[in-house]
Amino acid sequence: MMAKHKPEFDGPWKDILDLYFQNFVAYCWPSKYPEIDWNKGYKMLDKELTKITRQSKTGQKVADKLVEIYLKNGSAACILLHIEVERSSKSSLPERMFTYNTRLRDLFKKSIASLAILLDSNKNWRPNVYKEELWGTTVEICFPIIKILDYQDRIPELEASSNPFAAVILAQLAVMNAESPATRLKTKIYLSKRLYAKDWKEQDLLALFKFIDWVIALPPEFELEYTETIEKIEEESKMTYVSTAERVGIRKGLEKGKVIGESEMLVSQLGVKFHDIPQKYLDKIKNAHTDALMAWAKKLLFAPTIEAVFEDENTLVIS
């Protein structure tokens, strides 16, 4: 029986929001875009968010982003973005939105805008309010949601858009609709070809490829066919996503990993791409836990230098 390859959503979405937050607001929350002073930039407050999320007792792996922005009136503001992957009748999303909002308000002493991004496939599940009431005392929070499924009827618009976040939505919709490995392969190839056809800048091309590669997971035998197709596209377009030697070498390393262990697998992958591995990185690999090894292995595919592989885990390596 063919093993199921469960796609990963929380990590890729957090990384892509780091890179394309402004594009996200422009495309998905256009009514708020003009209210933000983009000339002053924005800042991801991951450390500040950790102060309140580490207290969570839900036991769930939560994907949240806290963003500091500046409004046109000159004041600073914070937006809490929550990415909800799966719908459940026992979901604690509304309560969690309330809890995190109140904790952040207490931490920053200012109002916090909360927004839920729903990646589930149930069109009827749209939680946007939490309310408690006891003996005449009522507390309530209402928050807007962005349902990715709602873009299903806007495929032509997404395909025609020059906003990189439209490509992100297309990839998420594709994995929601593609159940079998063969269908996922066909979809992944189609979306990859569209990236080349869009003539994106190299930075955008690599970031979007990385997102597609993460969310549309394929079994090894289908991944090989995908790799061969990408190589043909590169030859025709005279552009390089990741060289043939790197992709094939890395895939072989992944297959050998079952035998030689995760640490030796990563060393093998690094050797294929960078040849020389400084001793300090060998020491890091030797002492690392599984989560760190897997994170480095994912970065390896797109890292331009060996130093970039071992950068902070929240850094998106794209250049």
What tens digit of pLDDT does each residue of 221-232 get? 787 788 888 778
What average pLDDT does the chain have? 79
pLDDT band per the 50, 70, 90 thresholds, residue 261: low
- Which of these, 224, 214, 167, lies nearest to 191 by C-alpha position? 167
Spatial neighbors of 245 by CB under 8 A, at least 6 apart, are 272
pLDDT in tens, 93-116: 898 889 989 998 888 888 889 999
Six-digit token string for 115? 């927004």
Minimum mean pLDDT range among 122-126, 144-148, 163-167, 293-297: 293-297
Look at 214-223, 258-267, 273-282, 296-305 and tell me which has the smallest mean pLDDT: 258-267
**According to the model, what pLDDT value does residue 251 have?**
53
Whether 82 contacts 109, CB under 8 Å = no
Reported as a pLDDT band with limits 50, 70 and 90, residue 3 is very low
Residue 144 phi, psi (nearest 5): -75, 155
Q: Looking at residue 132, what is its pLDDT? A: 94
Q: Which residue has the tokens 């209402």?
A: 142
Spell out a b/e string for 178-195, using b for 16 or more CB atoms within 10 Å of the CB, else e: beebeebbebbbebbebb
Neighbours of 244 (CB within 10 A): 14
Instruction: Give the span between the Cα atoms of 102 and 143, in whole angstroms.
Output: 13
Query: Residue 140: in which H helix or E strand, if any?
Result: strand 137-142
CA 152 – CA 174 distance, rounded (Å): 9
For residues 123 and 84, which has the higher predicted lDDT (pLDDT)? Answer: 123
